[in-house]
Amino acid sequence: MTVVADVLPIDDALAQYDPVMGLEVHVELNTKSKMFCGCPTEFGAEPNTQTCPVCLGLPGALPVVNAVGVESAIKIGLALNCEIAEWCRFARKNYFYPDMPKNFQTSQYDEPIAFNGWTDVVVDGETYRIEIERAHMEEDTGKSLHVGGATGRIHGASHSLVDYNRAGIPLIEIVTKTIEVPGEKAAAVARALVSQLRDLLLSIGVSDVRMDQGSLRCDANVSLKPKGSTTLGTRTETKNVNSFRSVERAITYEITRQAAILSSGGKILQETRHWHEDTGITTSGREKSDADDYRYFPEPDLVPIAPSREWVESLRATLPEAPSLRRARLQTEWGFTDLEMRDVINGGAVEYIVRTVELGVDAAAAKKWWLGELARAANESGKDLGDLGVGPAEVAEVQKLVDEGALNDKLARQVFDGLVKGEGTPAEIMAARGLALVSDDSALIEAIDRAIAANPDVVEKVNSGKPAAAGALIGAVMKDMRGQADAAKVRELLNTKLGI
Amino acid sequence: MPSITREEVAHLARLARIELSDDELDHLAPQLDQIIGLVAQVSDVAAEDIPPTSHALPLSNVMRKDENVPCLTPEQALSGAPAAEDQRFRVPRILSEEA
Amino acid sequence: MSDLTRKTAAELSELMASGETSSVEITQAHLDRITATDTAVHAFLHVDTDGALAQAADVDKRRAAGEKLGPLAGVPLALKDVLTQDGVPTTAGSRILEGWKPPYDSTVVKRLKAAGIVILGKTNMDEFAMGSSTENSAYGPTHNPWDLARIPGGSGGGSSAAISAYQAPLAIGTDTGGSIRQPAAFTGTVGVKPTYGGTSRYGLIALASSLDTPGPCARTTLDAALLHEVIAGHDPMDSTSIDQPVPPVVEAARRGDVNGLRIGVVKELGGEGYQPGVEARFHEAVELLTKLGAEVVEVSCPHFQYALPAYYLILPSEASSNLAKFDAMRFGLRVGDDGENDAEQVMRLTREAGFGAEVKRRIMLGTHALSSGYYDAYYGQAQKVRTLIARDFTRAYEQVDVLVSPATPTTAFAIGDRVNDPIAMYKNDLCTIPSNLAGNAAASFPVGLADEDGLPVGFHVMAPVMRDDLLYQVGAALESALADQWGGVLMSKAPELEVTR
Ligand SMILES: [Mg+2]
Ligand SMILES: [Zn+2]
């Protein structure tokens, strides 16, 4: 069933209803081996080359817990200000699905390793405290390729092909408590939260957080209650919202969809919904039913995990500073104004600037590229900053070329355009697009001579004691060189020529 | 007295992914009812303050190092597959998205 | 050369060491015996003739080259079909795994191979080890060599029948509620359930993960101990494996001394429902132990009466989840894949066709016990009973070194007798189940024949966790005292099987 519901304009929706949200974020850890076996976790390997009896769920195989998986879970819990369980267990979540080898997911149920935490996110200069219900350990499923239908969709497929390379990769599921913020901020807060989680996970080094590879996946619960009411409405769970932008868009969409139904007297179905990045809507997945009886029970093949307090404290000691303190420190170090810092945070660029600055780039320059050229490219292509294929290393390389005088800002923008389009390295793009600055003095001097010859009136002005007029000559030279000259160099040569 | 209806048995069969015939349903309901009558005795003992035992022995913190070990070859992995295609397990069409 | 199939593993080992015979000869003799007798017994689901002879030849070659070999190198063994062996059909007695060849060795098999033990083939069992008679095998029942009209016990009826039919001197069983000990009792052989976690479950097709324990089956206590030593010990592939040295089982079996040992007779395991001939042999054995210097007292374990109901909640619950992987997607049987049926329908049709009645019954029961609204009353409550049973044991072991009882309330019953009465069938395991719930070590040793039917009776010994050596101490003492009385082990009284050529 993919009937598109009517939507109410967001302003009308928020005038009548307050949204209540909850997020479940699944993070794939960057461990070398899977959660319960020694298979590698490499992304993009040939199908079914990273499996063993354990992660294929073959009869007789048994799981053994990856210590680094547990360690990462504790670190994430600590970074989210959670309590760390003194004793906890794995549980089996029983349901049948072809890409889940054992037809149960080894997960945690009523005894998560981390619980009762919080994290503060900042949107438009306002701080919102998000309560964290729990963070627990579990495993990923395999991946199905749906064959015979349109565009690989499950609907209409004749059969599916399953690759179990991903099955068993460690996941941490982070679950928020209900989030209630002013309606007009709700979607932005959710986006900021996911963005902040990404930054946090990167900074503690437990995940590569490649959203384009699905290593951070988000499910968003949304319900509406009439303004002023305290009774929670029926919620929907929108699955696999896999970019920051999508988080914001999907939540906004659900608010407008549910508002349309409620305001026309309808009822919200408690169901799973699916987000469609291309059309920007959610569609009905599956109604919650008595088939959702997961029959959890303690995993008998694994023994309890009882992290010692010494271990927990030693992990706490490895954690970087808290996000709010860190943001304040970075702002001071970078010399950004409050407004500049706000733009950086809202743009989700903090970590990229940090890593770019680490590579020797001036903070202002780093901000310029990440919030200017790259943010614009991301926006145009509907991607997140991290998914552009341009990282801090590339930004630092381009800036170095600018600093060396091989590029100016205008040409650098074109290099970034080439990088985003996957045209190769900066050097290759410069060569292919013919972007290098002309550093050959003789060519510049010839152009200066042409400019002087063509603009006797300007030369006259300069000679009559108005050196500022030389700017017009510089402009002419730059135009002659089609922008591929270093303006400072041109000025220097021109001044020599004109004797000023 | 515990009792389990034919409808409940049919529901359990759906949860357990077993296509039971009417005949089997007729047989199973009274048998399960009888067995449940036997096992329900457990509620006669064990008061609130008794902790449950899920593992016979009190082991904890059994973990392995985060190290790679050799995998099966794809041929081995797929050797028992009822059907395979393009080095993947071929399965019948899947109707509903993952839970 | 006298009949090699009549020798114990320890004797065969000596014959090979002295060069009187070879592993190939021994293996061939047992393969011939299987050919001659298995039409009647049906202990084996798969005989790996070529593999076994190749393994035997390899051991002989290594011995000839002067390699130092383990005590059981070259001795043949029958493997319960619930343990994976790389490239060898493994069915767990189920239609749903017909033709499946696992791509890996279970840890038990790895250790058998490393010890040079020759694996003759895979033995019959109740489907997924669910049963006490081997009648639930999808491949037909196994017959008790003592009386072919009777069941050999279960679920490991194939393994016990194979050794009592002299098809192999050694076998591997797995014990979840008595599946090694009850067949041992019914076939007049020795069956040991080691401490849970003392032997690795890796590669054991799980029935109930928190109860399953692989262990040795043999005709003598010493043979069982020698095999125990080979398969036991810590396995990093099994999270529930105990990281401690293997108890000194071989030494205990050689010593066989019970002088000063405190033995507790469990009051609750006897009386009503117990066959007179079983009780008679049991009490004689207790008396014999007293004569050998043991101090015998009566001990009460009041919660043992709830072991059966707790077991029939915990086992089906875990099994319902463990057996979910048999879904026609990655391995095994697939039914109804006609291009129209979706994956869910194919799963349902396959599981309907591939599972037998008892398996379905237990999956349904477990699904019910775990489902929301019932969990606390059933599974949760059963786990509390498990605590109470463990406490009964702890209290008892404060007074005595080992506990004893009959291994089974009755001797082997007739094929077909109890198939339609699940509860009567379940009651077979009254004496054996408590040790599975508490995880401690237990064994059955043959102590004679019941007067009323002339069938073997098993004597059940239970020892604390990781005191498996005590079992062998008691078993060996009984065995040598009884052999003195009978002029040989009980098995020598077994009727000759008719041999088909
Ligand atoms: Mg989850
Ligand atoms: Zn694996």
Is residue C368 in some structural domain?
no
pTM of the model: 0.88
Is residue C499 in some structural domain?
no
pLDDT at C205 over 80: yes
Among residues C155, C317, C320, C405, the one annotated as catalytic is: C155
ipTM for this prediction: 0.97
Is residue C350 in some structural domain?
no
> Distance from the CA of A190 to the center of ligand 1, in angstroms?
19
Number of Cβ pairs closer than 8 Å across A and B?
Answer: 146
C137 assigned to active site: no
pLDDT score recorded for residue A291? 60
Q: Which helix (H) or strand (E) holds C78?
A: strand C76-80
> Distance from the CA of A119 to the center of ligand 1, in angstroms?
21
Span B71-93, average pLDDT: 97
Query: Could you tell me if A61 and B63 are in contact, meaning their C-beta atoms sit under 8 angstroms apart?
Result: no
Confidence tier at C299 by pLDDT (50, 70, 90): very high
* Number of domains present in the structure of chain C: 1
Locate CATH 1.10.10 in chain A. Answer: 441-498
Tell me: the pLDDT tens digits for A50-62?
999 999 999 999 9
Query: Could you tell me if C380 and C314 are in contact, meaning their C-beta atoms sit under 8 angstroms apart?
Result: no
**Alpha carbons C402 and C262: distance in angstroms, whole number:** 7
pLDDT at A149 over 80: no
C-chain residues near A60 (CB < 8 A):
83-84, 102, 104, 106, 202-206
Confidence tier at A3 by pLDDT (50, 70, 90): very low
Among residues C7, C80, C110, C122, the one annotated as catalytic is: C80
pLDDT score recorded for residue A488? 78
**Alpha carbons A417 and A447: distance in angstroms, whole number:** 28
Q: Name the phi and psi angles at B32, rounded to 5.
A: -65, -40
| Average pLDDT of chain B, as a whole number | 91
Amino acid of residue A416: F
pLDDT score recorded for residue C235? 98
B-chain residues near A298 (CB < 8 A):
54-55
- The answer, for A302 touching chain C at a CB cutoff of 8 Å, is yes
Q: Which 3 state secondary structure label does DSSP give B23?
A: helix
- Minimal-distance CA residue of chain A relative to C342: A159
pLDDT score recorded for residue C168? 98
Span C453-461, average pLDDT: 97
Between A173 and A479, the more confident residue is A173
Between A426 and C334, the more confident residue is C334
Class of domain A441-498: mainly alpha
C-chain residues near B55 (CB < 8 A):
210, 240
Tell me: the pLDDT tens digits for A237-283?
999 898 889 999 999 999 999 999 999 999 999 999 999 988 999 99
pLDDT score recorded for residue A1? 40
Query: Could you tell me if A275 and A282 are in contact, meaning their C-beta atoms sit under 8 angstroms apart?
Result: yes
Domain boundaries, chain B: 6-43
pLDDT score recorded for residue B1? 44
- B6-65 residues touching C, CB cutoff 8 A: 8-9, 12-13, 15-21, 24, 28, 31-32, 34-36, 38-46, 50-57, 59, 62, 64
- The answer, for B70 touching chain C at a CB cutoff of 8 Å, is no
State what percent of residues in chain A have pLDDT above 70: 97
Among residues C13, C22, C160, C179, the one annotated as catalytic is: C179
Of C240, C388, C423, the CB nearest to B45: C388
Tell me: the pLDDT tens digits for C1-43?
469 999 999 999 999 999 999 999 999 999 999 999 999 999 9
Quote the minimal CA–CA distance from B76 to chain C in Å: 6
pLDDT score recorded for residue A2? 41
| Average pLDDT of chain C, as a whole number | 96
pLDDT score recorded for residue C1? 45
pLDDT at C163 over 90: yes
Cβ of A162 within 8 Å of Cβ of C210? The answer is: no
Of B12, B72, B89, the CB nearest to C364: B12
Between C168 and A389, the more confident residue is C168
Determine the structural domain holding residue C71 and report its residue range. 3-304+386-493
- Minimal-distance CA residue of chain C relative to A99: C329
- Minimal-distance CA residue of chain C relative to B63: C239
Tell me: the pLDDT tens digits for C335-390?
999 999 999 999 999 999 999 999 999 999 999 999 988 998 999 999 999 999 99
Quote the minimal CA–CA distance from C340 to chain B in Å: 8
Q: Which CATH number does the domain housing residue C36 bear?
A: 3.90.1300.10
Between A118 and C492, the more confident residue is A118
Tell me: the pLDDT tens digits for B18-28?
999 999 999 89
The answer regarding whether domain B6-43 maps to CATH 1.10.20 reads yes
Between B4 and C175, the more confident residue is C175
Burial C460-488 (b: 16+ CB within 10 A, else e): bbbbbbbbbbbbbbbbbbbbebbeeeeee
- Minimal-distance CA residue of chain A relative to C206: A60
Confidence tier at A468 by pLDDT (50, 70, 90): confident
C179 assigned to active site: yes
For C164, left (φ over 0), alpha (ψ -120 to 50), or beta? Answer: alpha
Q: Which residues surround ligand 1, an ion (CB under 5 A)?
A: A 173
pLDDT score recorded for residue C426? 86
C241 assigned to active site: no
Which ligand has the minimum distance to the alpha carbon of residue B69? 2
Q: Which 3 state secondary structure label does DSSP give C446?
A: strand
